[in-house]
Structure 1
Amino acid sequence: MAEQKILIIEDDKDISEIITVYLSKNGFDCRQAFDGNEALRMAREVEPSLLILDVQLPGRDGVDICQVLRQETDIPILFLSCLGEEQDKIRGLDAGGDDYITKPFSLAELLARVKAALRRSGLPDTSVTRKQVLEFPGLRIDLAESLAFLDGRALDLTQMEFQVLVRLARNPGWPFTSEQLFSLVWGEKCIDTRTVAVHINRLRKKLEQSEGKREYILTVWGKGYKFNNQL
């Protein structure tokens, strides 16, 4: 099996080299970019499986790069930044990032998050015993193609938004806490429930465009979220 390509976009060449060496030793084909403009060019030329993206870059801001690339691709994007305030993380996730790692960081943790993101970027479930299409009034979710259709129109969802939607839609009426959703979708212990809230809010905005003005995702006060089983 061919090595998965990772594009590391980091202006600190020492940090970039450390990440490159570590991930390369763990079987990844790593490429490097050191400023925002070079990052966009390489992302389009290299067609990586995953991006590790610094927020503060010369030439072009990392969040801006993420927003541009989200119009072109759904590959996992992991932000890597010294900006660790809640609003910084929300800004990155709102731009379409799949994860946000603050500096200083552990290389082992970075590797684990890279692997988790790549696992999530595959099909949500390849088992032939599971339904490959979920259908509800006005909404069709194709698991095999990782696509969702609202009133016949394909929804523009990021991979993480799609995964959250699938987790809820597979269990209509069942409430999930933010911690449970984070663990199921991100594949690790919840460290920030705001991450889930951001993805839920983005999903709701896209789903509320339905012709019937249906509420697909409901808040269960004191519990979390559930997929509406009374559509």
Structure 2
Amino acid sequence: MEKSRILIVDDEERIREMIREYTILEGYDIDEASDGIEALELFKQQEYSLIIVDVMMPKMDGWSLCREIRRISHVPVIMLTARGEEYDKLFGFELGVDDYIVKPFSPKELLARIKAIIRRSSLAGPKNFRGESINHEGLVIEFNSRNVYVDEKQISLTPKEYELLNYFVHNPNQVFSREQLLNSIWGYDFTGDNRTVDTHVKMLRESLGPYRKFIVTVWGIGYKFEVGVKR
């Protein structure tokens, strides 16, 4: 089996060294970059299973790097930062960050999250999609390409928004609690809380425009995907 390759991007050499030592012991191949520009060049030359990105870096910061990566790829991204405010986390999720770890952090915790994200990513390929596309009124989802269209206009979703939409459309009319959605989309080992689900549902609804109506809030329980009902 081919090894998973990880790109570590941090301007602090000691942080890169610590992450490298733990990940190599687990059998991962590792590349390193000390700033966003160097990382972007490596990313264009090599395929990665995961990218670990520090926020505050010279030349190109982590936010800008993630934005550039998301223009061309859905590769999982873990953001490392000394800033733990909720606003920063929400901003990261809007850019398409898959997980968010605040410094200082436990290397073992980071390794557990790396394993969980790579495992989920390996299971999220087209082989799990039933059919090539789904069309609900003017909402079209093409599963092989991960393209989503609203009234024939392609929209941009973050990886987690897309996974959430995909989960909803393949389980129509089923009511899911926030805990169930956390476990199914983020995994049992995700350390966030229920607000993560609410935030991503809100973002997804905004992206879907008039078809936000398909994502129905079931008060006191959670959410469901319902079509064919006028609201």
Does the pair score TM above 0.5? yes
Indicate the TM-score class for this superposition, using the shorter chain for normalisation: 0.7 to 0.9
Match of 2:198 in 1: 197
One-letter amino acid of the counterpart of residue 29, structure 1: D
The answer to whether the 8 Å contact 2:206/2:212 transfers is no
Greater fraction helix: 2
| Larger mean Cα displacement after TM superposition, 90-99 or 193-202 | 193-202
The answer to whether the 8 Å contact 1:7/1:52 transfers is yes
Matches within 5 A, 1:60-209: 60-122=60-122, 123=124, 126=127, 130=130, 133-188=133-188, 189=190, 191-208=192-209
Secondary structure of 2:80's aligned partner: strand
Quick one: distance in 2 between partners of 1:214 and 1:50?
31
Identity over the aligned pairs, expressed in percent?
A: 40
1:53 CA drift (Å):
0.6
Whether 1:218 and 2:216 are equivalent positions in the alignment is yes
Q: Deviations over 1:8-46 (max 9, x none)?
A: 011111111111121112121111111222222222223
Quick one: distance in 2 between partners of 1:38 and 1:133?
37
- RMSD, matched Cα: 2.4
Quick one: distance in 1 between partners of 2:212 and 2:55?
37
1:132 CA drift (Å):
5.4
Structure 1 pair 119–155 and aligned structure 2 pair: CA distance change class (3 A) = farther
- TM-score, normalised by the number of residues in structure 1: 0.86
One-letter amino acid of the counterpart of residue 112, structure 1: A
Quick one: distance in 2 between partners of 1:214 and 1:37?
37
Q: Deviations over 1:82-122 (max 9, x none)?
A: 21121121121112111111222222222222222223334
Structure 1 pair 194–67 and aligned structure 2 pair: CA distance change class (3 A) = farther
1:198 CA drift (Å):
2.8
Quick one: distance in 1 between partners of 2:131 and 2:47?
31
1:133 CA drift (Å):
4.2
**Structure 2 unaligned blocks of 5 or more:** none
1:152 CA drift (Å):
4.5
Match of 2:226 in 1: 228
One-letter amino acid of the counterpart of residue 204, structure 2: L
